[in-house]
Amino acid sequence: MVEVLAMEQVTVVRGGSELVSGVDWRIGEGERWVVLGPNGAGKTTLLQIAATRMHPTRGTVSVLGEQLGRVDVFELRPRIGLASGNLSEQVSRQERVRDVVVTAAYGMVGRWREQYDAADHARASALLSVMGVHGLRDRRFGTLSSGERGRVLIARALMTDPELLLLDEPAAGLDLGAREDLLRRLSRFAADPTAPTSVLVTHHVEEVPVGTTHALLLRGGKVVAAGPVGEVLRDGPLSTAFGLPLAVERVGQRFTARAIG
């Protein structure tokens, strides 16, 4: 198996506390992962490490075959697509939507080059269509709703044709229709063999896209369970992760969960 991500005994210490502790996690090429866990479980921390934006205090991390600490992360980052709320805050409110996407080709936030290739613009345009926000291409980023911003940032994350796609809570704050629309688009990615290996962070099993192959459950910075989605998204592991008795149901290829007792 070609490994896209390998974490071994990863621990991150900040301000004297462990954000994540002793995490082992391996992702193979073509796999579609979700990371689930309650607030503060360490999901974003692990995603930031996978994105090479954070380094572990202890343990080893390899991303796309390169070990962190031994590789120039600026060479690695174009191979990784990241969409997160954090990034949304870094984008200038004045930036045009099409520029938010096209500038990813050069790995920066904020447009400063005078010229981009016609091919870059065509690709950005196509990705905005894929995400259902092509009509917003001339708007300023700051005028978009949070759901619209999220879609634009996914288009941006795909701009460099990454080998690993990392999505941090892409459905957060979406209304029901927008969430379902986004999930349908993400399911299309999952079904596309040419789409990159992916990791999606969420709090809700209802937000697990059809086609997800694996799940990682976290609680208190530690792995509760990791493996094929059908084995991990079950009553026992999910109840442990969220700290209350939960019943998980699989409805078709989607999941729902509710508290019991």
**Interacting residues toward ligand ATP by CB under 6 A:** 14-15, 17, 19, 37, 39-45, 203
State the nearest-atom distance from the C-beta of 47 to ligand ATP, in Å.
Answer: 8
State the nearest-atom distance from the C-beta of 172 to ligand ATP, in Å.
Answer: 9
Pick 188 or 204: Cβ nearer ligand ATP:
204
Pick 43 or 98: Cβ nearer ligand ATP:
43
State the nearest-atom distance from the C-beta of 10 to ligand ATP, in Å.
Answer: 12
Pick 40 or 236: Cβ nearer ligand ATP:
40
Question: How far is residue 209's CA from residue 185's CA, in Å, rounded to a whole number?
Answer: 9
Pick 77 or 203: Cβ nearer ligand ATP:
203
State the nearest-atom distance from the C-beta of 232 to ligand ATP, in Å.
Answer: 16
Pick 65 or 85: Cβ nearer ligand ATP:
85
State the nearest-atom distance from the C-beta of 259 to ligand ATP, in Å.
Answer: 18
CB 94, CB 78: distance < 8 Å: no
Question: How far is residue 47's CA from residue 135's CA, in Å, rounded to a whole number?
Answer: 30
Pick 14 or 250: Cβ nearer ligand ATP:
14
117 vs 74, 87, 100, 114, 121, CA distance in Å?
Answer: 22, 24, 15, 10, 7
CB atoms under 10 Å from CB of 211, counted, come to: 17
State the nearest-atom distance from the C-beta of 65 to ligand ATP, in Å.
Answer: 25
